[in-house]
């Protein structure tokens, strides 16, 4: 069976994985001659706790060269094998242009309920949980029912109106060409995230839905992602929570300046630029590079 991109619709096997070591940052390793050492993040590879409210806390990173994916893929002190590269991607407005579909679902809700909804405004705020946006249009007591109705009609209305973002397929292919693996982690619910990925024919290794912001870090860390790519400031938080490189793409509500100001390590105009960024580093067949 083939999907919209003419590719065989199947899932690729996921090789054994482990979380790459980031301990070299704690001791200042990774610094170039004459360069101040990196300071790590809390949580995995950092110094944060694990109790409530003690999640990863970003620290200032001082460096004099572009912060790249390869700077966090280092040899573990025990010499265990680490996958060549693992990259996470957001879905809405990163891999998938869902604006027309989401707008159509809100139009349907407005028609059913008689509540006027400015869908042009709605699509400028794509990213946070559905209930957050519904809260702008419906009383709190009605939000759960409206969320359930939205999800019930989403597949039939929104998915056929969804298209691939420019460069999305090439970005995923670039990771796979270097022997890597990809995961989609989205705030959209699990079923609709899977349906969207399948409809668009995105050949990723794993799909996780229903998480936003720093909560995405759990899935990213479990997958061993060294970078997370997204259009929203919440995606920067996700990368931070996973001790991964935060790669911003200015294809959503936040432009390059806003993503940079928020703390993204790399900001690309769109995914068309992603293969060039990824391709400028040592061959992934080496597995990783050791930063001395």
d(CA 41, CA 10) in angstroms, rounded, equals 36
For the four alpha carbons of 29, 31, 33 and 35, in that order, the dihedral sign comes to negative
Q: How high does pLDDT run on average in the chain?
A: 78
Looking at residue 287, its pLDDT comes to: 32
Of residues 181, 135, 188, the one with CA closest to residue 162: 188
pLDDT at residue 10 is higher than 90: no
pLDDT at residue 105 is higher than 90: yes
pLDDT at residue 214 is higher than 80: yes
Element (H, E) at 196: helix 190-200
Report residue 92: phi and psi, to 5°.
Answer: -65, 125
Contact by Cβ (8 Å): 211, 228:
no
pLDDT at residue 39 is higher than 60: no
Over residues 129-146, the mean pLDDT reads 97
Q: How many residues does the chain have?
A: 292
Looking at residue 119, its pLDDT comes to: 97
Using CA atoms, how far residue 130 sits from 48, 101, 136, 148, in Å, is 30, 14, 11, 10
Query: Which H, E and C letters describe 236-259, residue by residue?
Result: HHHHHHCCCEEEEECCCCCCHHHH
Looking at residue 145, its pLDDT comes to: 98
pTM given for the model: 0.70
Interval 220-266: pLDDT, tens: 999 999 999 999 999 999 999 999 999 999 999 999 999 999 999 99
Strand, helix or coil for residue 190: helix
Strands 86-89, 227-230: pairing kind? parallel
Looking at residue 44, its pLDDT comes to: 28
Give ∠ CA 260-265-25 in degrees, rounded to 5.
Answer: 145
Q: How confident is the model at residue 3 (pLDDT cuts 50, 70, 90)?
A: low
Over residues 183-212, the mean pLDDT reads 97
d(CA 143, CA 151) in angstroms, rounded, equals 12
Q: How confident is the model at residue 123 (pLDDT cuts 50, 70, 90)?
A: very high
Over residues 129-154, the mean pLDDT reads 98
Q: Judge residue 186's burial from the number of C-beta atoms within 10 Å of its C-beta, 0-12 exposed, 13-18 middle, 19 or more buried.
A: buried
d(CA 75, CA 82) in angstroms, rounded, equals 8
Q: Domain 1-9+17-97+163-292 belongs to what topology?
A: Rossmann fold (3.40.50)
Looking at residue 290, its pLDDT comes to: 26
Strands 245-249, 227-230: pairing kind? parallel
Looking at residue 17, its pLDDT comes to: 38
pLDDT at residue 292 is higher than 90: no
Using CA atoms, how far residue 67 sits from 64, 76, 167, 210, 287, in Å, is 9, 20, 22, 29, 18
Q: How confident is the model at residue 279 (pLDDT cuts 50, 70, 90)?
A: confident
Highest mean pLDDT (candidates 23-37, 48-62, 114-128): 114-128
Beta strands in the chain, from DSSP E residues, in sequence order: 86-89, 96-97, 163-164, 181-185, 206-208, 227-230, 245-249, 266-268
Looking at residue 175, its pLDDT comes to: 95
Q: Where are the alpha helices (DSSP H) in 13-142?
A: 23-26, 99-113, 119-122, 130-134
Q: How confident is the model at residue 5 (pLDDT cuts 50, 70, 90)?
A: low
Looking at residue 85, its pLDDT comes to: 86
d(CA 189, CA 208) in angstroms, rounded, equals 9
């Amino acid at each position: 069976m083939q999907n919209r991109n003419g590719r065989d619709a199947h899932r690729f096997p996921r090789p054994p994985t482990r979380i790459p070591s980031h301990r070299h940052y704690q001791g200042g390793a990774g610094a170039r001659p004459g360069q101040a050492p990196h300071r790590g993040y809390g949580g995995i590879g950092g110094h944060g706790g694990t109790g409530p409210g003690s999640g990863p806390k970003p620290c200032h990173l001082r460096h004099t060269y572009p912060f790249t994916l390869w700077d966090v893929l280092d040899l573990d002190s025990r010499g265990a094998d680490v996958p060549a590269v693992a990259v996470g991607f957001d879905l809405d407005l990163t891999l998938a242009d869902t604006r027309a579909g989401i707008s159509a679902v809100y139009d349907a809700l407005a028609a059913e309920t008689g509540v006027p909804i400015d869908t042009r405004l709605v699509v400028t705020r794509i990213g946070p949980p559905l209930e957050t946006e519904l809260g702008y249009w419906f009383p709190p007591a009605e939000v759960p029912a409206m969320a359930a109705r939205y999800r019930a009609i989403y597949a039939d209305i929104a998915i056929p109106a969804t298209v691939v973002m420019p460069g999305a397929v090439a970005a995923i292919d670039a990771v796979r060409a270097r022997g890597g693996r990809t995961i989609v982690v989205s705030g959209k619910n699990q079923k609709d995230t899977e349906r969207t990925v399948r409809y668009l024919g995105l050949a990723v290794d794993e799909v996780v839905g229903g998480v936003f912001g720093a909560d995405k870090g759990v899935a990213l860390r479990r997958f061993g992602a060294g970078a997370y790519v997204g259009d929203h400031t919440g995606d920067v938080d996700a990368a931070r929570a996973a001790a991964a490189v935060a790669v911003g793409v200015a294809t959503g509500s936040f432009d390059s300046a806003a993503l940079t100001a928020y703390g993204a390590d790399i900001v690309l105009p769109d995914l068309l630029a992603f293969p060039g960024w990824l391709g400028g580093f040592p061959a992934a067949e080496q597995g990783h590079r050791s930063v001395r």
